Amino acid sequence: MKKKILVTRSSLPPLEEYVDKIKGIWDTCWMTNMGPVYQELEQDMKKYLACKNLELYVNGHMALDVAIKALRLTGEVLTTPFTFASTTHALVLNGLTPVFCDIKPDDYTIDEDKVESLITKKTSAILAVHVYGRPCNIKRLREIADKHHLKLLFDAAHAFGVRVDGEPIANFGDVSMFSFHATKVFNTIEGGALVYRDDSLTRSLKSLRNFGIESPESVVQPGLNAKMNEFAAAMGVCNLKYLDENIRKRKHVAEFYSSRLKDCPGIQMIDFENDSRVTWNYSYFPITVDEKKAGCTRDDLFEGLQKENIFTRKYFYPLVPDYECYREQFGRCPLPVARYVADRVLTLPMYADLTEEDLERICRAVLKIIR
> Which of 240, 265, 298 represents a domain boundary (last residue)?
240
Whole-number percent of the chain with pLDDT over 70: 100
Give the predicted TM-score (pTM) of the model.
0.96
CA 151 – CA 196 distance, rounded (Å): 12
Could you tell me if 144 and 199 lie in one domain? yes
How many domains is the chain partitioned into structurally? 2
Residue 6 lies in a domain: no
pLDDT band of residue 122 (cuts 50, 70, 90) is: very high
- Res 248: pLDDT: 97
Task: Give me the domain span that covers residue 39.
Answer: 15-240
pLDDT value at position 16? 98
Residue 7 lies in a domain: no
Let me know the angle formed at the C-alpha of 85 by 84 and 91, rounded to the nearest 5 degrees: 115
Last residue of a domain, one of 220, 240, 260: 240
Same domain membership, residue 253 and residue 298: yes
pLDDT at 54: 98
Residue 1 has a pLDDT of 73
Residue 164: CATH number of its domain = 3.40.640.10
Residue 39, in any domain of the structure: yes
218 and 338 share a domain?
A: no
Residue 225 — very low, low, confident or very high, per pLDDT cuts 50/70/90?
Answer: very high
Is 9 among the domain residues?
A: no
Q: Verify that 230 and 171 share a domain, yes or no.
A: yes
The three-state DSSP-derived secondary structure of the chain is CCCCECCCCCCCCCHHHHHHHHHHHHHHCCCCCCCHHHHHHHHHHHHHHCCCCEEEECCHHHHHHHHHHHHCCCCEEEECCCCCHHHHHHHHCCCCEEEECCECCCCCCECHHHHHHHCCCCEEEEEEECHHHCCCCHHHHHHHHHHCCCEEEEECCCCCCCEECCEEHHHCCCEEEEECCCCCCCCCCCCEEEEECCHHHHHHHHHHCECCEEECCEECCCCCECCCCHHHHHHHHHHHCCHHHHHHHHHHHHHHHHHHHCCCCCEEECCCCCCCCEECCCCCEEEEECHHHHCCCHHHHHHHHHHCCECCECCCCCCHHHCCCCHHHHCCCCCHHHHHHHCCEEEECCCCCCCHHHHHHHHHHHHHHHC
Mean pLDDT over all residues of the chain? 96
Digit-coded pLDDT (tens) for 4-37: 999 999 999 999 999 999 999 999 999 999 999 9
Q: Is residue 173 domain-shared with residue 50, that is, in the same domain?
A: yes
Q: What is the mean pLDDT of residues 353-358?
A: 96
Rounded-to-integer distance, Cα 173 and Cα 197, Å: 8
Q: pLDDT tens digits, residue range 257-307?
A: 999 999 999 999 988 777 789 999 999 999 999 999 999 999 999 999 999
Q: What is the pLDDT of residues 232-263, one digit of tens each?
A: 999 999 999 999 999 999 999 999 999 999 99
Do 300 and 335 belong to one domain? yes
Which of these, 147, 139, 184, lies nearest to 165 by C-alpha position?
Answer: 139
| 210 and 281 share one domain | no
In whole angstroms, give the CA distance from residue 126 to residue 177. Answer: 13
Query: Are the C-beta atoms of residues 99 and 334 closer than 8 Å to each other?
Result: no
124: confidence class by pLDDT, cuts 50, 70, 90: very high
Q: Are residues 268 and 232 in the same domain?
A: no
Kindly state whether residues 212 and 277 are assigned to the same domain.
no
Asked whether residue 319 falls in the same domain as residue 260, the answer is yes
Shared domain check, 198 and 185: yes
Q: Where residue 345 sits, what CATH number does that domain have?
A: 3.90.1150.10
| Residue 359, pLDDT score | 98
173/231 same-domain check: yes
Residue 68 lies in a domain: yes
Nearest of 166, 165, 159 to residue 186 by alpha carbon: 159
Distance between CA atoms of 2 and 74, rounded to whole angstroms? 52
Angle formed at CA 150 by CA 321 and CA 222, multiple of 5 degrees: 80
Q: Which of 190, 207, 240 marks a domain boundary?
A: 240
Q: Is residue 22 part of a domain?
A: yes
pLDDT at 371: 77
| pLDDT recorded at residue 273 | 74
Residue 178 has pLDDT above 90, yes or no: yes
Residue 10 lies in a domain: no
Report yes or no on 175 lying in a domain.
yes
pLDDT of residue 227: 98
